Each structure stands twice: as structure tokens, then as C-alpha cells.
Chain A
């Protein structure tokens, strides 16, 4: 009874080591596989996120730059929903500048469209976008609409699953 247990004592661990080592290898490989898979997934997801940010930059910038002097409050309320961070803080100042001393009297209205958009830099939670913007502006003093073109550098930041404008720089 004792002799076989001895041989088992010496042989069993050795024999068991192979499957155990393989088991450990399996776990390590599984962890590495899952880890790499996740990284790949997030990397692939980055392309998608960037596309979302680019899309958001187009529509939100157009929203912010489109306003009707007659209902600037409504426009401003809508614009606030498109922005975050530094630009949100600046937005009120911009609105006051637009209103100026004349307030809503001048009734300037502008319709903005984004002609082209390109990704300048892309990070998981921040995407910088270059936009070519076309604006058609009309006012009480200038009833004939005037077209202008411009380019802006916009930084989109991911806030609670939404890409919002956090920086806005006309070029």
C-alpha cells in the first residue's frame, strides 16, 4: 500500500505538470487573445467613432452657425445643445456680440451649410475637424442674401455618448 503511494507521490506531480502547465498556458493564451481582441476591437471602433464625430461636427456646426435674428433665443438654446467645455463658455459672449447694441432689431438671419469636412486629428474622445462652411446671410438692411465662404477648425469631444463642439476656431 505504501510503495505505490510513493511512486505516485513522485510520478503523479510530474505527470500532472504537463496538463497543468498546458492549462496555465491555455489561460494565459486566453487572456492575451481576449486582450488583443479587445484592443483590435477598440482600434477598429476608433474608425467608426471618428466617422461619428465628423458627422456630428457637420450637423452641429451648421446648427450653431444657422440662426435667425428674430428668434435668437431659440437659436441660442439650440446652439447650447451642440457645444461643451470652452466653446460653451464662449457661446454666450458670441451671442451677445451678435446681438450687439442693436439687439434683435437688425434681424440678421444666416443659414450655414458645411460644404466639406476632414479629420485633422483623431483620438478616442477627441476629434479635430476642418470644415469648409458656406453661409448665406440676409438682414433687414441688406435684404438680398449674401453668400460667404469660410473655414473653421472644430474640436469634437465625446460627452455622454455624444460628440459635442468643445472648441471652435474660425480660420
Chain B
């Protein structure tokens, strides 16, 4: 009986590869085996009855015969190492019944593990992969709005106050352009005042990726100078190019769309 148990145990354990010749029959026995303990309770009790068991399973899996001898040889010492034969006898009894579930357990565990992995990948995809620019859209739009607003409200009166903010929100050659315009405003300040009140009427993202964005910003400005002391409302269609540097969106160009 013990031999039989170990024989059945082994394939579920590490011997699955060795048993390749009879996996089909092994699977067949896996389904049939649960009946065995029910139909064979008596043979279980007398430990000295291996013979009746052998033909019973022999009908089930006749091929394992030759391999069984090798597995028995391996299983022999393993059983010998167990200290309490009577107590152990009970456990292997159920083990015999659940050797197939053991196989299933491994299968189910593998699938569960695979699914958990899949779930994790799904989660990552959802968080990061859905729209690569999803979390960048709003900051880019805010930056574009701010630069457009700052530029459209830039005048001789507030150039000194506004310039630091503008140079900080721009980069590259465009920053120099802005600085140049600021110098120009400071220069003409000597001759007269030029001020501008601007509002952003609408802004949207034309295209965006992790590093670059192109935003459209519609602004309305009322500029006053010597020629136009009362001011005249003008509507501008701006396109703001942005580049992401150090986690911040900075303007690299602002153009009028004619």
C-alpha cells in the first residue's frame, strides 16, 4: 500500500518529466483515484497488503509498471525517514486521494500566479500606459495659458515685475527673445507708456507627447499707447510651443496664427 501511495505521489512531485510515457494514463488515474480510497478502505488498514492494491491500480495504469519499480526505489528511503508510520499512514491515505488535487493545486496555483501577474501588468498599463500624456495635458495647458497671459499683459508699466516670471517660464532662444522685448519696452518707456490688458479666452492642446506640446491659446487684449489712449480690443490667435524640462513645461516659442 505504501508503495502504491508513493508511486502515485511521485508523479505529482518531481517525477512528472520521468513519467512522460504515461501522462495520459496518469491523468486518467488522477480522475479515477478518488474512488480508490472509498472502495478500498479495508486494504488501507492492513499495512501488509500491497498485493491486492497492485492489481487494482494495475488495471488502471498498466504501463507505470516498469517505472513504478524505479519510483518505489526512490520513495523507499523517503518513507523510511518518516518517524511515525501509523500517523503517517493516515496522511498518505488522504494524500493518495488528493494526489490528483495536488497536481491540480499546482496547476491552479500557476494559473492564479499568472493571473495575479496579469493583473499587475494591467494595473501598470492602466496607470501609465492608457494615455502617456494624460497627466501632462493639464500642466502643459496651464503653462501655455500663463505664458500667453504674461506676454499679452506685458507693458512698459509692468515689464520689470513681469520679466522674472516670463524668463522662468520660457527656455532657449525664445527666452532671449522675451528678454529682448523687455529691453525694448524699457527703452520706449522713456518716450511714453504702453500697456496691455489681456485675457485668455480659450486654450487647448493641439498635440502632446512626454517631451513636447503644442497649445493653441486665444487671447483678447486691450492695448493703450500714445496713439491709442482709449485702447482697442484685439483678438489674437496664438500657438505656444512647449518643451518639458525637469518636470516643468517651458515655452520655446509663441507665434501668431495669421
Contact = CB atoms under 8 A, between A and B. Distances in A.
Interface of A: 1, 3-5, 7-8, 11-12, 15-16, 18-19, 22-23, 25-26, 29-30, 32-33, 36-37, 39-40, 43-44, 46-47, 115-120, 128-130, 132, 149, 151, 153, 171
B67 interface: no
Contacts of A25: 112, 116
A40 B125 CA distance: 7
Nearest to A1: B41
Contact of B122 (A8, A11, A37, A153): A37
B204 A151 contact: no
Contacts of A7: 90, 93-94
8 contacts: A18-B101, A23-B108, A33-B115, A37-B125, A47-B131, A129-B204, A132-B237, A153-B202
Contacts of B216: 116-118, 130, 132
B243 to A, nearest CB: 17
Q: Is the interface of A mostly helix, strand, loop or mixed?
A: helix
A7 B203 CA distance: 75
Contacts of B218: 130, 132, 151, 171
Contacts of B108: 19, 22-23, 26
A32 B97 CA distance: 33
A76 to B, nearest CB: 27
Contacts, number: 128
Given A44-B129, A44-B130, A117 B115 contact: no
B241 to A, nearest CB: 13
B258 interface: yes
Contact of A132 (B37, B44, B220, B257): B257
A142 B203 CA distance: 34
Interface residues of B, number: 46
B189 interface: no
Contacts of B210: none
B232 interface: no
Q: Is the interface of B mostly helix, strand, loop or mixed?
A: helix
Contacts of B258: 149
A116 B52 CA distance: 88
A12 B97 contact: yes
A116 B239 contact: yes
B26 to A, nearest CB: 18
Interface string B95-114: 00110010011001101100
A33 B237 contact: no
A25 to B, nearest CB: 5
A23 to B, nearest CB: 6
B37 A4 contact: yes
A1 B123 CA distance: 52
B206 interface: yes
Contacts of A23: 108
A145 to B, nearest CB: 16
List the 5 shortest-distance A-B pairs measured between CB atoms, nearest first: A118-B204, A43-B130, A29-B115, A36-B122, A118-B216
B122 A26 contact: no
Interface in B12-45: 37, 41-42, 44-45
